[in-house]
A = this chain, B = another copy of it.
Amino acid sequence: MDFEFSDNLKNVKSSEIRDLLKYIHLSDMISFGGGLPNPETFPSQEIKNILDDIIDNYASSALQYGQTDGLAYLKNELKNYLLKDENININPDNMMITTGSQQALYALTKIFANPNDYVITEAPTYVGMISSLNANSVRAVSVNMDNHGMITDDLENKLKMLKSMGIKPKFIYTIPTFQNPAGYTMDLDRRKHLLEIAYDYNIPVIEDNPYGDLRYSGNKLPTLKSLDANDIVTYLGTFSKVMAPGLRTGFTLSQPEVIHRFNMLKQSLDLASDSLSQYIAYEYLKRGIIYEQVPKTIELYKRKRDIMLESLDDNMENAEWSRPDGGMFLWVKLNKNIDSSKMLKRAIENKVAYVTGSAFYYNNPEKNTMRLNFTYSKDDDIKEGIKRLAKTINEEMKNY
């Protein structure tokens, strides 16, 4: 039969990044697309030991349905970890365990915003947030960024203008630290300014912090959540970048009334997150393996970041790029005549892949941009891939 479908997905496009995963396996292809942590950082042996103990000691719980809001043991360990690691003092009642942070982006959008409502995002912003907005028919106003993160003066101007139009955005979404895709980090003054503005306009803030633990240079900055005196910040964390992404375990910290709504919605989204993966995360924190693993990950990723930056410095013309203090990505701006989307075919012919920057804009994309991941590729492949990319850009420039 020919099916008739709802209008709900009319704005939803398949993520170019997810689609790119198919290229990553082609032989000889060097892909800076995707957002994959490096499997070398996976604590496989430790997870094997943990798994053996979990099955021996708690198989009947670890293989059973769990509570929708998550494993209480894990929440208690997270409470301790967040206090130690981020100076966030949180009660387990203010916590949801989620099926990755992606689930939180979808759920929070639905909890806060009706169809056709507006929210604030950075430009560029995380592609998974854009897909959640589109899936919920929610619109975004984008705030510009520079090397110091979201330009909070631009935020204030846009909120003022929206207010004059009678529009109150439902939340402000930001990745303040080692932003995906741009690699920028919001400085302390702007963090404080952002909170002041949010308090003034009474708009909830969603702080997405998947990369905060992965700092390779510069000084640690306080999270918005830890600076938040008015309980306006909802904080998203994940084990994807500090343990293993395949285990799909994230967490959301917020006011109990947000957590309550999330809990109700999650009953219809997936009932509960994977129990076994939650037990792994619990043991991973409890045994303190995270404190050994993160420094190893930082060592590896710092080296790869440095290799990529050095390769860019040595090879790349007609472009500028961010110099991230952490995270997994850097952002390249090409000559303004180049459309990186159109250039991708040539890049793939040259056996190198990236994500076109336009994927990271809710609207009005800067088409001359691209995101490069520096954590996944082998060291030599980073050097070779940047050469191929430089060659691709030079070839493309001949058209102009």
Interface residues of A in 2-45 (CB under 8 A from B): 3-9, 12-15, 18, 21, 35-37, 39, 42, 44-45
A37 to B64, CA, bound (A): 8
Binding site for B on A (CB under 8 A): 1, 3-9, 12-15, 18, 21, 35-37, 39, 42, 44-45, 47-48, 51-52, 55-56, 59-68, 99-100, 102-103, 105-106, 110-114, 117, 128, 131-132, 134-136, 170, 199, 202, 204, 230-232, 240, 244-248, 255, 257-258, 261, 263-265, 267-277
Docked Cα-Cα span, A135 to B64, in Å, equals: 25
- A288 to chain B: closest CB distance in Å? 19
Residues of B within 8 A of A66 (CB): 246
CB distance from A134 to the nearest CB of B (A): 7
| CB atoms of B232 and A63 under 8 A apart | no
Residues from chain B with Cβ under 8 Å of A230 in the complex: 1
Tell me whether A261 and B5 are in contact (CB under 8 A): yes
**A9-B271 CB under 8 A given contacts A51-B48, A64-B39:** no
Are A64 and B276 touching (Cβ within 8 A)? no
Q: A135's closest neighbor in chain B, by CB?
A: B268
Chain B residues with CB under 8 Å of A112's CB are: 3-6
B8 in contact with A110 (CB, 8 Å): yes
Given A48-B51, A111-B8, A244-B63, decide whether A232 and B14 contact each other with a Cβ distance below 8 A: no
Across the interface, do B99 and A99 meet the contact criterion of CB distance under 8 Å? yes
CB atoms of A246 and B39 under 8 A apart: no
**Are A128 and B271 in contact, CB atoms less than 8 angstroms apart?**
yes
**Which of chain B's residues have a CB closer than 8 A to the CB of A135?**
110, 265, 268-269
